[in-house]
Amino acid sequence: MSGADAFADVVGQEAAVAFLNAALDAPVHAYLFLGRSGSGTRRAARAFAGELLGRRSDDGSGAPLERSRRLAASEAHPSLFVYEREGPSISADQAREIVRRASLAPPEGDLQVFLLPDFHLVRDAGPMLLKAIEEPHAGTIFLILADELTPELVTIASRCVTVEFPPLAPSVVDAQLRAEGVAADVAAVVVGSAGGDLERARLLAHDPQVVERRRTWYDAPGRLDGSGHTAMLVADELLGTLADVVEPIHAVQEAELEELVAAEEALAEQRPAERKRMLERHKREERRVRTDELRAGLAAITDRYRDAVDAGGSVDDFTEAAALVQDLCDALVFNPREQLQLQALLLRLPALGGR
């Protein structure tokens, strides 16, 4: 498998893949993969890490390289360290652990790669990591993933080579879904809700409730009567529609776990740390899927007010509703108390005409 083939799962990001393939011959100490969830940053980081680690250990037979690619793809390579945030942002304790581990020799070979997702949420831990990232020990490479370039990330970003992953065009997502066997009518519905996020589009394409769920959120403003009791009932119903949204991701996660089991059998040893890390990541993925679908539901509420304007309704009501929805979307990043926040939103939304 060539280097290009190693990035085969990174869809629609030809410029980024070309850059990373070229960088394999002379990698630098730190890269910032800049792009939102579903743009391919994590898949690209796994592939890049697998190539970096495998090429350093390849003996000409190709077996070490293939092993490295397989293990990195499941984030189970012993010299690939993945540090997920354990709370709403990367903590000081996590930052200290990253610095400590980066100061040690690689557990295998002469290279180690650190994969740091969600780094746009670094906040106060950023300064603690700066020196380790800008002047790492020999044989250490950082792959930093961020949705956006926040003020807290600017200084660290200046020490990295930035690789941009723009949102995928709807046509790219549509074509990929069809290539994977999704019916054209289903793909058309899903693409509009995915927002350039291929991973989300794949999940929605296998969710039989996606259309009905959007309709429930879209209709919610028309059911409100200004009372707290009604707001509570509607909020509970809306959140209830999210109960099954994580089911499609379970099949993907089970496949990843099977790959890890196969890797353990091939190496004839158990890797409990990698297994624990994978299971923790799966929990975070489920939370992210739920939050993404919550945001999609909130977008449907905004669409309801926009459509009301087209039917002669108030522009001010639409503007107010859109601002309230955006405030809630922003709050969800650091305050996941979604039930209370959704109830408060429903109480504050302007009345629709004719209610």
Give φ, ψ of 180 to 5 degrees.
Answer: -90, 5
Class of residue 34 by CB neighbours under 10 A (exposed 0-12, middle 13-18, buried 19+): buried
For residues 141 and 53, is the Cβ–Cβ distance under 8 A? Answer: no
Q: Which two tokens stand for residue 287?
A: 């939370």
pLDDT at 211: 77
Distance set, CA 352 to CA 78, 213, 251 (Å): 57, 21, 41
The CATH label, of 1.20.272.10, 3.40.30.10, 3.30.70.260, 3.40.50.300, for the domain at 3-166 is: 3.40.50.300
**pLDDT at residue 157 greater than cutoff 80:** yes
In single-letter form, the type of residue at position 221 comes to P
Q: What's the whole-number mean pLDDT along residues 255-283?
A: 78
**pLDDT at residue 99 greater than cutoff 80:** yes
To 5 degrees, how large is the angle CA 290–CA 92–CA 285? 15
Query: What b-and-e string marks burial along 223-256, b requiring 16 or more CB atoms within 10 Å of the CB?
Result: ebeeeeeebbebbeebbebbeebbebbeeebeeb
pLDDT at 158: 94
| Calpha distance 192→211 (Å, rounded) | 11
> In the structure, what pLDDT confidence band is assigned to residue 5 with cuts at 50, 70 and 90?
confident
For residue 87, which of 249, 277, 284, 253 has the smallest C-alpha distance? Answer: 284
Write down the pTM of the prediction: 0.69
pLDDT at 336: 61
pLDDT at 58: 64
pLDDT at 207: 78
Domain ranges of the chain: 3-166, 207-248+286-348
To 5 degrees, how large is the angle CA 282–CA 286–CA 291? 145
pLDDT at 189: 78
> In the structure, what pLDDT confidence band is assigned to residue 166 with cuts at 50, 70 and 90?
very high
**pLDDT at residue 1 greater than cutoff 50:** no
**Radius of gyration of the CA atoms of the chain, in A:** 22
- DSSP per-residue letters across 119-158: GGG-GGGHHHHHHHHHSPPTTEEEEEEESS--GGGHHHHT
Q: In what order do the strands lie in the sheet with 30-34?
A: 80-82, 112-116, 140-146, 30-34, 161-164
Class of residue 104 by CB neighbours under 10 A (exposed 0-12, middle 13-18, buried 19+): exposed
Check residues 112 and 337 and name the one with the higher pLDDT.
112
For residue 172, which of 160, 163, 180, 161 has the smallest C-alpha distance? Answer: 180
pLDDT at 348: 94
> In the structure, what pLDDT confidence band is assigned to residue 339 with cuts at 50, 70 and 90?
confident
pLDDT at 22: 94
Instruction: Please give the share of the chain, as a percent, with pLDDT higher than 70.
Output: 95
**pLDDT at residue 91 greater than cutoff 90:** no
Q: Which two tokens stand for residue 259?
A: 């790959």
For residues 349 and 221, is the Cβ–Cβ distance under 8 A? Answer: yes
Q: What's the whole-number mean pLDDT along residues 151-155?
A: 88
Taking phi over 0 as left and psi of -120 to 50 as alpha, with beta for the rest, 115 belongs to beta
The SS3 of residue 190 is helix
**pLDDT at residue 324 greater than cutoff 90:** yes
For residues 294 and 331, is the Cβ–Cβ distance under 8 A? Answer: no
**pLDDT at residue 290 greater than cutoff 90:** no
For residues 95 and 129, is the Cβ–Cβ distance under 8 A? Answer: yes
The SS3 of residue 32 is strand
Q: Which two tokens stand for residue 51?
A: 């190539």
**Averaged pLDDT of the chain:** 87
pLDDT at 353: 57
pLDDT at 84: 83
For residue 221, which of 30, 317, 349, 132 has the smallest C-alpha distance? Answer: 349
- DSSP per-residue letters across 38-68: TSSHHHHHHHHHHHHHHHHH--SSSHHHHHH
The SS3 of residue 196 is coil
CB atoms within 10 A of CB 286: 16
- DSSP per-residue letters across 103-116: TSPPSSTT-EEEEE
Question: Which among 81-95, 144-158, 322-336 has the top mean pLDDT?
Answer: 144-158
